[in-house]
């Protein structure tokens, strides 16, 4: 059975993605780059509440991100039911989650594309980023009315 995972792509007002590099001692995707915040949906928790919880735990942002799409990621024995959300924020200073990340910051879509091409994005992030890029970055006007802004 797939593990349910809530993912929140966080963008700033300039269209940059909040990214993090996972610590090398992490069991899953050590050293890989991720976008935004995310984690497993706990038993009894809704997908929306998991997205809000992970967003706050990893970035201290309190908001209700917009759910964009669902996708199933498979890689060997790893199967994730990915529930992808988006949040646009005016906050440009977000803390680094030292327990999980080596570093974090903001990256333009071109930088993220280069990480994707170079195989630096973690597997599940690369999978959902490709879908996001195809659906939303190629036609940003389609999603502008769905985006949520927070400070």
Q: 1-40 pLDDT, tens per residue? A: 899 999 999 999 999 999 999 888 877 788 899 999 999 9
Please tell me the pTM assigned to this model: 0.88
User: In the chain, what are the domain boundaries?
Assistant: 3-150
The 10s digit of each residue's pLDDT in 110-146 is 999 999 999 999 999 999 999 999 999 864 433 333 4
User: Which CATH entry fits the domain spanning 3-150: 3.40.50.1820, 3.30.420.40, 3.90.79.10, 1.10.150.240?
Assistant: 3.90.79.10
pLDDT > 70 fraction of the chain, expressed in percent and rounded: 91
3-state secondary structure of 116: helix
The pLDDT, as a whole number, for residue 142 is 35
Between 141 and 98, the higher pLDDT residue: 98
Q: Is 132 helix (H, G, I), strand (E, B) or coil?
A: helix
Q: What is the token pair recorded at 10? A: 């966080």
How many Å from the N-terminal Cα to the C-terminal Cα in the chain? 37
Q: What is the pLDDT of residue 105?
A: 95
Mean pLDDT in the chain?
A: 88
Element (H, E) at 149: strand 149-150
Statement: residue 107 has pLDDT above 80: yes
Q: Is the dihedral of CA 140, 144, 148, 151 positive or negative?
A: positive
DSSP 138: S
For 56-90, the pLDDT digits (tens) are 999 999 999 999 999 999 998 889 999 999 999 98
């Amino acid at each position: 059975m797939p593990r349910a995972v809530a993912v929140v792509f966080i963008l700033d007002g300039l269209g940059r993605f909040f990214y993090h590099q996972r610590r090398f001692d992490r069991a899953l995707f050590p050293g890989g780059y991720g976008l935004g915040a995310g984690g497993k949906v706990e038993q009894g928790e809704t997908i929306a509440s998991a997205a809000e919880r992970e967003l706050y735990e990893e970035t201290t942002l309190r908001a209700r991100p917009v759910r964009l799409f669902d996708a199933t990621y498979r890689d060997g024995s790893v199967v994730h039911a990915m529930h992808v959300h988006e949040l646009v924020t005016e906050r440009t200073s977000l803390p680094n989650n030292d327990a999980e990340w080596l570093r974090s910051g903001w990256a333009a879509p071109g930088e993220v594309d280069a990480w994707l091409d170079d195989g630096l994005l973690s597997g599940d992030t690369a999978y959902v980023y490709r879908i996001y890029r195809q659906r939303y970055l190629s036609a940003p006007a389609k999603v502008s009315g769905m985006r949520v802004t927070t400070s």
